[in-house]
Amino acid sequence: MKKLKFSKVANTKLKKIKEWIDIEKPKVYSFSLLSGYSCPMASDCQTYAVTDKKSGKRTVVDGKNAKFRCFSAIQEAQYTETYNQRKHNFDLLLARRNSYIDMAELIIKSMPTNADIIRVHVGGDFFNSDYMLAWYLVAQLNPNTKFYAYTKSIKWQLENESNRPDNFSMIASYGGKEDIWIDEHNIKSANVVFHPTETNLPIDDNEYYAINDKGSFSLLLHGTQKQGSTGSEALKRMNKENIKYSYSKN
C-alpha cells in the first residue's frame, strides 16, 4: 500500500510552538493536500498552482472571488517537491473518498508514530464530510497526539461536531462560502487581517490560540501577493513598519 506523506515542522510559525508548549522538544508534523483543488468552500483566498501541459511550468492562478493569494498555493507553484507531495496525498485520498474508514486506515498507516502535534493541512482543506470524519477517527485512536486544523467547510464542521474528539482543535476560517454559519453558531474562528490595527482579537503567530481552545483570533496576511493588489500594498505597509508576518521556510 502506498503511504501518505507527512512533513516535519517546516515554517516559522510551527517552529514557534516550542515557545509555549510544556514539552522540551515537541515533535511537530504537518499534512497537506493541493491548495484550491481540495478547498471546495474557499473564496477570498482561493488560489491554485496550475501546471502548463506543454511546458510543465506551474503558475499561480487566482480564483474568481479571490481577494488575496493563499501562501500554500504559492509554495506549490514555487517548489516541485511540495507540489508533488501534496498531489500524491490528494490522489491517494480521493481514491478512497467515499469511505471514512478506508481514509482513516490509510492515514493511520502513514502517520509518524512519535508525533506530539499534527497540523492537518498547511495546504488544502476537508474536501468532503467523510474525510473530516476520517481525521476525527484517527484522533480518537491516537489520544496522546494533539491534532488541529483550519477549515472553510463550516457546514460539515457543524454536522460532525459530535464526533470531534477533545484532542482535535478545529478552527472555522473566515473568507469562505459558508461564513454565515460561523456567525450564526458563534464557533471558534480565525480571520485574516491586512494590518494589526484591523482587529481587536489576539493575533496568533505561534499556533497557541489555534491549538488551545482559547477562543477566536486573527492571522496576519502572509505569502506573496499579486502586484498592485490590496494584499500587495498591505505587505508593503507591514514591511515599512517592520511588522513580522511571514511564516515561510527558514
- Coil, strand, or helix at residue 104? helix
The answer to whether residue 97 scores a pLDDT higher than 60 is yes
Residue 16: CA count within 13 A, CB half-sphere: 15
Q: What is the pLDDT of residue 249?
A: 44
Q: What is the pLDDT of residue 224?
A: 59
Please return the burial class of 110, using the count of CB atoms within 10 Å of its CB with bins 0-12, 13-18 and 19+: middle
**CB burial string 237-247: b at 16+ within 10 A, e below:** ebeeeeeebbb
What average pLDDT is seen over the chain?
89
Please give the angle made by the CA atoms of 77, 80 and 83, to the nearest 5 degrees: 65
194: confidence class by pLDDT, cuts 50, 70, 90: confident
Name which residue leads in pLDDT, 26 or 137. Answer: 137
Residue 201: CA count within 13 A, CB half-sphere: 18
The answer to whether residue 185 scores a pLDDT higher than 60 is yes
Please write the tens of the pLDDT for every residue from 21-31: 888 888 999 99
Q: For residues 217 and 201, give the distance between their C-alpha atoms in angstroms, rounded to a whole number.
A: 5
In this structure, are residues 216 and 201 in contact, taking their beta carbons and an 8 Å threshold? yes
Name which residue leads in pLDDT, 248 or 183. Answer: 183
H runs (alpha helix) in 16-153: 71-78, 80-94, 100-110, 129-141
The answer to whether residue 96 scores a pLDDT higher than 60 is yes
Cβ atoms within 10 Å, residue 22: 5
Q: For residues 10 and 200, give the distance between their C-alpha atoms in angstroms, rounded to a whole number.
A: 29
Please write the tens of the pLDDT for every residue from 141-178: 999 999 999 999 999 999 999 999 999 999 999 999 99
Q: What is the pLDDT of residue 245?
A: 55
Please give the angle made by the CA atoms of 221, 216 and 12, to the nearest 5 degrees: 45
In this structure, are residues 120 and 90 in contact, taking their beta carbons and an 8 Å threshold? no
Q: In the chain, what percentage of residues exceed pLDDT 70?
A: 90
Q: In the chain, what percentage of residues exceed pLDDT 90?
A: 63
Q: What is the pLDDT of residue 235?
A: 63
Name which residue leads in pLDDT, 9 or 147. Answer: 147
* Sheet-wide strand order for 189-193: 7-8, 28-31, 117-120, 146-151, 168-173, 189-193, 217-220
Q: What is the pLDDT of residue 10?
A: 61
- Coil, strand, or helix at residue 217? strand
The answer to whether residue 179 scores a pLDDT higher than 90 is yes
The answer to whether residue 222 scores a pLDDT higher than 70 is no
Strongest mean pLDDT among 19-28, 51-60, 157-166, 201-210: 157-166
Q: What is the pLDDT of residue 250?
A: 35
- Strand 168-173 relative to strand 146-151, pairing: parallel
The answer to whether residue 236 scores a pLDDT higher than 90 is no
